[in-house]
Structure 1
Amino acid sequence: MSVFTTVTHAELAQWLKHYSIGDLVEIKGIAAGITNTNYAVKTTQGRYVLTLFETLHAHELPYYVNLMAHLAHHGIACAAPIANLRDEYIDTLNGKPTVMVAWLEGEPVEAPNVAQCDALGAMLAQMHRAGDTYTGRMANPRGPQWWTAAARDLHAYLPADEQALLRDEVTEQARHRFAHLPSGVIHADLFRDNVLMHGDRIGGFIDFYYACNDILIYDLAITVNDWCRQEDGQIDAVRAAALCFAYRAVRPLNPDEIEAWPLMLRAAALRFWVSRLWDWHKPAEGELTFRKDPTVFKQVLLAHRQAGQQTARWFAG
């Protein structure tokens, strides 16, 4: 979430006449993140988040927006979209497709504790179960095909050791197929900054704009890699066990999922190492943007490659 497209107070005040959420009081850019433009909006009736989409087009948005509405309807803590007076979730502002969602109370946590990881694992599994009845379909735009192509373009920017690691991991992932594993709706980006916490309780999941249909334990692996990561890239086994055990208590895993788990952790680390390398070396221009350090997920990948099958112990509880 960043600010690439500027919206003035006057522009937004006029645009809000298409909604029944009161008059504009305050607009403030949200600088965290790297993909879309986001503003915190306060009106005379409440607080909201306005997103302007920088790469997605209006016809691509119904999957994500309807998904948020579906999950909120099923009791998942997530930002529900707000319809305009034409009963549409998707609108246009300053030439960009836009969505307004309800503001969720809570704050991201920098250093998650065990209880927070436990709550997160349970809510993630509940989200996966609620997604079973969602009829929308979206292939993962940043799956193996994407990271394979992106890796080729990135080699010229990398030192020899990183080129070798990237080639080896992409090749190893390509040797495996996981079509037999349970799949469905995944968030695909459930990092600490995309979860709002009230103490040890989940306030809400946000930023669903990488959501797609993919392997469910891949989503769990993405989440573990961020929420349980230590400064050196190693995974805190206590937090990981709490998150995974809570997840499994809501959505039990089959033996094939547990067997595939170590490679899924590596796939999740690879995806975000490649995407951060891409944003680092080929950044988009924005008014309030920042780049995230790619080294973080290179370290996570190396840690998983070293740990191997030992990571399956996190499911023991």
Structure 2
Amino acid sequence: MAVFTAVSLDDLTQWIKQFPLGRALALDGISSGIDNSNFFLTTERGEYVLTIFENLRFEQLPFYVQLMRHLAQQGIPVPAPVPNGDGELVVTLHGKPAIIVSRLSGASQLDPQPVHCAEVGRMLARMHLAGRDFELHQPNLRGLDWILATAPEVQPFLSIEEAALLRTETAYQADFAAGATYAALPRGPVHADLFRNNVMFEGERLSGCFDFYFAGVDTWLFDIAVTVNDWCIDLATGRLIDARVRALLDAYHAARPFTQEEGAAWQPMLRAGALRFWLSRLYDLHLPRAAELLTPHDPTHFERILRERIERAAPQLPL
């Protein structure tokens, strides 16, 4: 959520009249993240988030926007898109697609304990179940196809050791994805980026999750692996903290029981989640785009996590 496209209150004076929100009173850029331009927007009707999409095209956006609307209607605590007077959810601002969504209450929990991890696991299971009847389909755009296409682009920037790890893990994931176990994994719409800073808490109660713009249809287990790789680790080492892992997985399992195939795929999928974010951070570091506000992420963090998942077995799924 960097700011690539600058927007001022003056820019919104006429533009916002198409929405039932009253006048725009304040606009503040959000510097965290790296893919879209995001702003906290205050209007006469309340607090919202304005997003301008830098990479996604109009024709790609219905999946994300309608998924958020679908989940919100199912009682999942996610931002609700605000339609304009014509019922449109995505409109043009500065020549780019833009959307306004409700702003969630609470604050991110950056030092999660098992109780927070349990809340996340429970909510993630509810989200997966609520998405089963979502009619639109879009693959995970940062899935294996993207990994196979992107890895060669970053190879020239890597050390010998880094390049070797990227080659061997990419080959491992390609082989695993071609097997029967992977094919049998349950799947549907996934968030695919459910990090600590994308979830809000009020005390120990989860009050919402947001930033669905990496969502797509993938295995539910990949979504869980991505989540565990952030919520359940020691940040300095990348090692899993067993009590957090158990809390998250047990809460998820109570709402949506794991399958035997998921149990067999758990270790490879944790590696897949680490590989995806290591590669995306390598790409953003070495092949960056210009932005007014940009907070690049350190790729070595997910390199450590990937090496940890290769070298050390994680707690098993409850079955």
Q: Tell me, yes or no, whether TM beats 0.5.
A: yes
How many angstroms apart in 1 are the aligned matches of 2:190 and 2:240? 22
**5+ residue gaps, structure 1:** none
Secondary structure of the residue that 1:304 maps to in structure 2? helix
Letter in 2 for 1:292: H
TM-score, length of structure 2 as denominator length: 0.97
Residue 156 of structure 1 pairs with residue 159 of structure 2: no
Output the CA distance in 2 between the equivalents of 1:33 and 1:108.
14
Secondary structure at 1:305 match in 2: helix
Counterpart-to-counterpart distance in 2, 1:77 and 1:107: 14
1:240 is the counterpart of 2:280: no
Q: Scaled by the length of structure 1, what TM-score is found? A: 0.97
For residue 183 of structure 1, what is the amino acid of its counterpart?
R
Runs of 4+, deviation exceeding 2 Å: none
Any conservation in 1 of the 2:246–2:315 contact (CA below 8 Å)? no
Amino acid at match of 1:215: T
1:228 to 227, 232, 245: 232
> C-alpha displacement at 1:211, in angstroms?
0.5
Unpaired runs of 5+ residues, structure 2, are: none
Is the CA contact 1:262–1:311 (under 8 Å) kept in the aligned structure 2?
A: no
User: What does residue 274 of structure 1 align with?
Assistant: 279
1:14-50 per-residue CA deviation (whole Å, 9 max, x = no partner) reads 2111111111110110111000000100011100000
Does residue 303 of the first structure (1) align with residue 293 of the second (2)?
no
Counterpart for residue 318 of structure 2:
315
Alpha-carbon separation, structure 1, partners of 2:137 and 2:84:
25
The aligned residue for residue 204 of structure 1 is: 208
- 1:73 to partner: Cα distance: 0.2
Give me the whole-angstrom Cα distance separating, in 2, the residues matched to 1:292 and 1:275.
10
- Aligned-pair identity in percent equals 43
Contact 1:68 1:208 in 2 (8 A): yes
Counterpart in the other structure of 1:127: 127
Count of matched residue positions in the alignment of Structure 1 and Structure 2? 314
- Provide, for residues 100-120 of structure 1, a one-character-per-residue CA deviation record: whole Å limited to 9, x for no partner: 000110111211111110000
Cα distance in 2 between the residues matched to 1:175 and 1:157:
25
Q: Determine whether 1:183 maps to 2:187.
A: yes
Deviates more, 1:132-141 or 1:121-130: 132-141
- Retained in 1: the 8 A contact 2:258–2:318? no
Report how far residue 315 of structure 1 moved. Answer: 3.0
Q: Where does residue 252 of structure 1 map in the other structure?
A: 257
2:266 maps to 1:261: yes
SS of the residue corresponding to residue 175 of structure 1 reads helix
**Equivalent position of 1:142 in the other structure:** 142
Distance in 2 between the 1:59 and 1:154 partners? Answer: 28
Distance 2:166 2:144 in 1: 13
